Structure 1
Amino acid sequence: MRRYLADTFAMVVFSIAIGAFVELVITGLTLEQTIKIRATAIPVSLLIGRPYGMYRDWVFRQLGSAEKTLLQKILLDTLINLTFQMPLYALILALNGATFMQILTAASSILVIVGLSGRPYGIFLGACRRLFKVSEPL
Structure 2
Amino acid sequence: MSYSTEDRSDRWRSFAADTLALILFFTVTGIFNERLIAGMAWEQVLHTRLLGAGLMVLTGRPYGFWRDWFMRFSSTSRSSHILWDSLALVSFQVPIYAAILAICGANGEELLYGSLGVTVIMLTLGRPYGAFLNFVRGRFGLPDGGEKPMSLNM
Classify the TM-score, shorter chain: 0.7 to 0.9
- Name 1:123's counterpart in structure 2: 131
Provide TM-score, normalisation by structure 1.
0.78
Instruction: Compute the RMSD of aligned alpha carbons.
Output: 3.0
Secondary structure (helix, strand or coil) at the match of 1:68 reads coil
Quote the offset at 1:79 in angstroms: 0.8
CA distance in structure 2 between the aligned counterparts of 1:26 and 1:102, rounded to whole angstroms: 9
Are the structure 2 counterparts of residues 41 and 93 from structure 1 closer, same or farther at C-alpha, using a change threshold of 3 Å?
A: closer
- Name 2:53's counterpart in structure 1: 42
Using the aligned pairs only, state the percent identity. 38
Unaligned residue ranges in structure 1 (runs of 5+):
none
Match of 1:86 among 94, 114, 129: 94
- Name 1:133's counterpart in structure 2: 141
| Counterpart amino acid of residue 77 in structure 1 | D
| Counterpart amino acid of residue 55 in structure 1 | W
Quote the offset at 1:110 in angstroms: 2.6
- Name 1:73's counterpart in structure 2: 81
Are the structure 2 counterparts of residues 100 and 35 from structure 1 closer, same or farther at C-alpha, using a change threshold of 3 Å?
A: closer
Cα deviation code 1:29-67 (max 9, x no counterpart): 565553443222110111110000001111222x1x5x5
In the comparison of the two structures, how many residue pairs are matched? 135
| Counterpart amino acid of residue 80 in structure 1 | A
What does 1:3-82 correspond to in 2, within 5 Å?
3-27=14-38, 29=40, 33-61=44-72, 63=73, 65=74, 68-82=76-90
Unaligned residue ranges in structure 2 (runs of 5+):
1-11, 148-154
Secondary structure (helix, strand or coil) at the match of 2:82 reads helix
Runs of 4+ that moved beyond 4 A: 27-33, 90-106
Provide TM-score, normalisation by structure 2.
0.71
CA distance in structure 1 between the aligned counterparts of 2:44 and 2:106, rounded to whole angstroms: 20
Larger C-alpha radius of gyration, 1 or 2?
A: 2
